[in-house]
Amino acid sequence: MQNIVCQFFINPKILAITSLGGGHINQTYKLSIEQEGLTKHYILQQINQQVFKQPLKVIENTLAVSQHIAQKPYYPLHNLTTLPTLKREYYVLDEGNYWRLLPFIENTVTFSRVENEVQAYAAAQGFSMFTKALLDFPVARLHDTIPHFHDSLFRLEQFQCAVGEADSARKQVAHFAIQFIEKESFMFQRVHQLNLPLRVTHNDTKIDNVLIDAITLKPACVIDLDTVMPGYLLADFGDMVRTFTNAEREDSANFAKVEMRMPIFQSLVRGFLGELASWMTLEEKAHLVDGAKWIILEQAMRFLSDFLQNDVYYKVAYAEHNLVRAKNQIALYQSVLKQESQMLGYLESF
């Protein structure tokens, strides 16, 4: 990795390179180097080319977004900017792999599970500040870094192919989950038929993609900008409900404990809609809970498809990991169905 670091710094004195294992997609490292007698930290990241087939599109999108945000004098968060190489390029191509360098945002934390309302409020507020700063970005200028990313009807077809081609042992253990997704898949059609505006959306608003200040517990920085693309606000809201409100981590096998936690939902709504409600259309506001159901079900289907395809997409730690994730998401979906009227009731006041 020395070779890559040398393209960003002249004769760098590398003190450490440690792997940060949180995400499912990229290889992320914390780089520590000595600069002018001080220890400086950076994020060095290899873009996953199985997932992002055209990494230059990712680089272009993230640059365009951060340049736009840089024009906002009152942006309250750190603006994540990709750092240039010595040749003033924004990536290093090494043995066919694309690497980028980002500033390491100090004194922040990420969570894989929300523990309290304060965290939920802060994280939702962070994503809403990011979304708000991009409301006037020309949507058509962004590339689709993953085509059909939240196109659930397309993903449903892929899922049906995966079911058709899966080996019988995997299909058998996944029988209940497969049937459940087939039964509920009308949700995808329902969302598809809504008349929603295309906006610049993050598309991966999971709880560990927002850095929270370790001392003040205020939002510090929205990260993981690879999937910033034209999309629906409902998807971002839905992914927050999916990852913030679950009483368990997304890969917990303790399905009986999986639950959509109402107090966390309420804090999330306050954090997200406080900044954004006045910019949203009536259609968007009316269908926020559908957004949650849509994204939770889509995620269950994505994990299950990957299980049926022998785990080609998400990093897994054991053979049934993706199946467990899918069942966990199904349990969460069921919990949302049970509490749907209370959720809608709470949203009515915004």
CB of 275 to Mg ion, least distance (A): 22
Joined tokens for residue 189: 């059609």
Per the document, the length of the chain is 350
Residue 194 touches which of ligand ADP, Mg ion, ligand GN1, none (CB < 5 to 8 A by kind)? none
Q: Could you tell me the strand order of the sheet in which 210-213 lies?
A: 108-109, 210-213, 219-222
Tell me, residue by residue from 95 to 134, as one string, x for binding to ligand ADP by CB under 6 A and - for no binding: -------xxxx--x-x------------------------
> Is 209 one of the binding residues for ligand ADP (CB under 6 A)?
yes
Comparison of 79 and 209: residue with beta carbon closer to Mg ion: 209
Q: Residue 28 in contact with residue 20, Cβ under 8 Å?
A: yes
Nearer to ligand GN1, 33 or 207 (CB): 207
Out of 6, 20, 118, 277, name the contact with ligand ADP by CB under 6 A.
Answer: 20
Binding track over 214-243 against Mg ion, x by CB under 5 A: ----------x-------------------
Q: Which residues inside 182-221 make contact with Mg ion, applying CB under 5 A?
A: 209
Q: Is the dihedral of CA 51, 43, 229, 335 positive or negative?
A: positive
* Smallest gap from residue 110 Cβ to ligand ADP (A): 4
How do beta strands 92-94 and 38-46 pair? Answer: unpaired
Work out whether 213 is an interface residue with ligand ADP (CB under 6 A).
Answer: no
How far is it, in rounded angstroms, from Cα 134 to Cα 79? 12
Closest to ligand GN1 by CB, 249 vs 285, is 249
- How many helices (H) and strands (E) the chain has is answered by 12, 10
Q: In degrees, to the nearest 5, what angle opens at C-alpha 83 toward C-alphas 227 and 237?
A: 25
Cβ pair 32, 53 in contact under 8 A: no
- Contact (Cβ atoms closer than 8 angstroms) between residue 236 and residue 124: no
Measured distance CA(215)–CA(202) in Å, rounded = 26
Binding site for ligand GN1 (CB under 6 A): 23-25, 51, 204, 206, 209, 224, 227, 250, 299
Which token pair is 314? 């998400």
Task: Provide φ and ψ at 260, rounded to 5°.
Answer: -80, 115
Span near ligand ADP by CB under 6 A; candidates 203-211, 235-243, 260-268, 327-335: 203-211
* Total number of residues that touch ligand ADP (CB under 6 A): 19
Residues that bind Mg ion (CB under 5 A): 23, 209, 224
Give contact residues for ligand ADP (rule: CB under 6 A). Answer: 20, 22-26, 28, 43, 102-105, 108, 110, 208-209, 211, 223-224
